[in-house]
Structure 1
Amino acid sequence: MDCCICSPMATVYRLPRNAICAPCYEGAKAIIGFLSKDEQEDDHGSVNSRVSRKLNGSTKGMRDAWEQVKEMRDREDDTNQRAAFLEQGFALAWKEEIHTDIVVQPGTGPPIPAHKAILAARSEVFRHMLSGDSQFKAAAGESFSLPELSHDELSLLLSFFYTGVLQQKVPERHLHALLVAADKYDVPFLRRACEARLAAAVEPRNVLRTLEVADLSSSEVLRERAMDTVLEHAEQVVFSPEYEGFAVRNAGLCVEITRALLDKQVSTTSAKAPCIQDHV
């Protein structure tokens, strides 16, 4: 029987002969369940909301789900408009140097003007640096230096502070520097953006450098992704020209790689052993 929802013939709703296929049924259940869970989280578990859901739960269907989806879409559009409004304003103030009150000096290249308020709002570490906290050894003033970043890397960092967007086609070495900076200056949002971009690009040719950066920035997500790639392409990685230099610089990581390879070998051997015994 044709499905009354997804079938090409589903043009007329005719009771009681309507039938629904398994994919549409499961999809409808999943959508309603997801939206009900979202509604519960929005209501914060209040007594009135629980009673209301208990009374009206039996009447909720795909029409209610569609109304909720439209409301979610409207909220998303509103959020995007507000984000664009804020982003454009902050970005314009930075690009045109409107009332900038501090200059940030990179390790190489010319300094870049910025706003103390933005730096302090984006990073607790910068807030202390700009307030002259002696613990961070950087007194407040009209300029301060980030010597570990090049001019291009500093520009990317400040651009992210003002827009919340990590630019497309950022060179891998710049992503490495930004991830380390995000860890050092405590910028979790930038950290997650860099981790996602780098994790998606891990392959045998760059896995050793990625593993180094993951270790330097204490990124467990990136570290796990890199280790999986090393194990999957062990021969190609271990016998590559870069591995010898990597081993000299990172004895601890080499120990981890060796142990992981041995664990994998033991697991593979153990998995094959019962099959051999059964065959005998």
Structure 2
Amino acid sequence: MKEAEEELNEKLNFLSGFVTAFRHQMHPDILIKPGNDGPSLPAHRALLAARSDIFKNMLDSDGCKAPPSDTITFPELNHEELESLLEFLYGGDLPKEKADKHVYSLSMAADKYEIPFLQKFCEHRMLGSLSSSNVLDVLEIADTCSNPSLKETALNFIVKNMEDVVFSDRFDAFALKNPHLTVQITRASFMEIRNRRTAI
């Protein structure tokens, strides 16, 4: 058992070389630009292509087969979010504070660019910190990213904490922006009430 653990640690140390390549900007061959006109970040085409078929297709297309000075823009991410995305792609993990701060934007990026490992990472983070103050955000992300298990968990949490959620400052703005989700919350709540009545 100890031998397997040591072997796993050696493998992790070996793979951490990718993080070093990112942090020290070792031989980058493409620039990644955030949507907020922040500074571009150097990256490696091969790693991007290996992490996402969407990236692979973008980099293989004729429009991106240009010199290494090429830039790809991620309009939906600001500089910090993009840096966190790249750090995750290189290392497969993020420090807690970065993960918590950018979990929603990273979840959207994971969905858009089809990065399943990042999707699972974000889902785990959201489920681990689910509360009355953030459950509406989680529900909205789950709906946008078509994540049925996360959506069901969020809806169940809302139903169990209905008073805290519905009377929160955030709910009115959420209901105006997401009427279809508000209807689903109402239906889930009525189903819960009906189930309680039939159980008596």
Query: Normalized against structure 1, the TM-score is what?
Result: 0.67
| Bigger Cα displacement from structure 2, 74-83 vs 92-101 | 74-83
Letter in 2 for 1:118: L
| Aligned-partner Cα distance in 2 for 1:163–1:200 | 21
Residue 94 (structure 2) aligns with: 166
Post-superposition shift, 1:171? 5.8
Residue 271 (structure 1) aligns with: 199
In the TM superposition, structure 1's runs of 4+ consecutive aligned residues that sit over 4 Å from their partners are none
Post-superposition shift, 1:238? 1.4
- Alignment RMSD (CA, Å): 1.5
Residue of 62, 75, 80 corresponding to 1:147:
75
2:59 corresponds to 1:130: yes
Residue 100 (structure 1) aligns with: 28
Residue of 133, 137, 140 corresponding to 1:205:
133
| Aligned-partner Cα distance in 2 for 1:169–1:118 | 24
| Aligned-partner Cα distance in 2 for 1:246–1:131 | 40
Residue of 247, 254, 267 corresponding to 2:175:
247
Contact 1:130 1:140 in 2 (8 A): yes
2:123 corresponds to 1:195: yes
Q: Secondary structure at the match of 1:149?
A: coil
Q: Which runs of 5+ in 1 are unaligned?
A: 1-69, 273-280
| Aligned-partner Cα distance in 1 for 2:156–2:193 | 14
For 1:112-131, list aligned pairs within 5 A.
Answer: 112-131=41-60
Q: How many residues align?
A: 196
- Give the direction of change, closer, same or farther, for the CA distance of 1:75–1:171 in structure 2 (3 Å limit): closer
Contact 1:166 1:193 in 2 (8 A): no
Post-superposition shift, 1:244? 1.4
Residue 259 (structure 1) aligns with: 187
| Aligned-partner Cα distance in 2 for 1:178–1:160 | 9
After superposition, the C-alpha distances for 1:107-151 in whole angstroms (9 at most, x for unaligned) are 121110000000000010000001116xxxx63441110010111
Contact 2:100 2:125 in 1 (8 A): no
| Aligned-partner Cα distance in 1 for 2:104–2:65 | 28
| Bigger Cα displacement from structure 2, 178-187 vs 210-219 | 210-219
2:158 corresponds to 1:230: yes
Query: Normalized against structure 2, the TM-score is what?
Result: 0.92
Q: Secondary structure at the match of 2:121?
A: helix
Residue of 74, 84, 98 corresponding to 2:13:
84
Q: Secondary structure at the match of 1:104?
A: strand
Greater relative contact order structure (CA < 8 Å, 6+ sep): 2
| Aligned-partner Cα distance in 2 for 1:179–1:140 | 28
Q: Secondary structure at the match of 1:170?
A: helix
Residue of 141, 144, 148 corresponding to 1:216:
144
| Aligned-partner Cα distance in 2 for 1:104–1:140 | 15
Contact 2:35 2:74 in 1 (8 A): yes
| Aligned-partner Cα distance in 1 for 2:101–2:20 | 27
- Give the direction of change, closer, same or farther, for the CA distance of 1:250–1:173 in structure 2 (3 Å limit): farther
| Aligned-partner Cα distance in 1 for 2:123–2:88 | 15
Contact 1:129 1:140 in 2 (8 A): no
Letter in 2 for 1:93: A
| Aligned-partner Cα distance in 2 for 1:98–1:216 | 36
Q: Secondary structure at the match of 1:260?
A: helix
Q: Secondary structure at the match of 2:75?
A: strand
